Amino acid sequence: GVKTFYYAHCPERAIPGRTIHEMIHNDRIIGGIDQKSAEMAKEIYSSFVKGNLYLTDATTAEFVKLMENTYRDINIALANEFALIAEDIGIDVWEAIELANKHPRVNILKPGPGVGGHCIAVDPLFLVEKSSNSRIVNLAREINDSMPVHVVKLAKEMLQGIENPTITLLGLAYKGNVDDTRESPTFKIKKIAESEGFNVKIYDPLVKDHPYNHPSLEEATGNSDCLILVTDHTAFKGIDPRKLPVRNKNLIDSRNLLNHDVWREAGYVVRVLGKASW
């Protein structure tokens, strides 16, 4: 007899570090190639998912996933653009974003050194490929991809006059408190900095067995001329700036994570992404 084939596309929305919890509790979109496929997939998911299940077709399900990740990419791009403007006009973007988010219908995300991960940095490109009407999507990708260049520019300004500078990038993971390095801005910053003639060392306490990773913070910061915080790991807050064997005391905090007063007291010149340097 004829074998019947059923297919459903159910994009996951789980965050690294909370995958099992989110797979159970998040709402799910179930996109079947036909109604029967969607119903059968719903039956399987309802055996463990506590969130709501919404049925649609497979193409819409994929489009919804791309929309969700593109929405976040564009929101981050807007935050990054605000950060660049704030540096130009001499204000603190972090304070401004916090105040703007007091508005009941505004939720601006945080700026940073670039967007990584397997979803937000990748998914918008599928929309760009399929339609010529993806102008904001394209521009947001462009802005987020330019942030590593901006971070290196800040470092160049701080390191003027230093021969053969060495910089230390704190973080290999693409976001805080995970060990996932996919599409991490660290790789882009490393590449750009090396093309500018910098020697680059990297330290990430969470990432195991990566060829770029130095075994200890001490080794990674030895004779360094500038530390750049790239990944917002909570562990980095515990660094004692007085104990680092650096050559020159410069810090760029691209995530506004560290206690800058403590670093300044230890003799560091501190620059923060999205804050005026003057």
* Residues belonging to the active site: 65, 119
Three-class HEC string of the chain? CCCCCCCEECCCCCCCCCHHHHHHHCCEEEEECCHHHHHHHHHHHCCCCCCCEEEEEHHHHHHHHHHHHHHHHHHHHHHHHHHHHHHHHCCEHHHHHHHHCCCCCCCCCCCCCCCCCCCCCCCHHHHHHHCCCCHHHHHHHHHHHHHHHHHHHHHHHHCCCCCCCEEEEECCCCCCCCCCCCCCHHHHHHHHHHHCCCEEEEECCCCCCCCCECCCHHHHHCCCCEEEECCCCHHHHHCCHHHCCCCCCEEEECCCCCCHHHHHHCCCEEEECCECCC
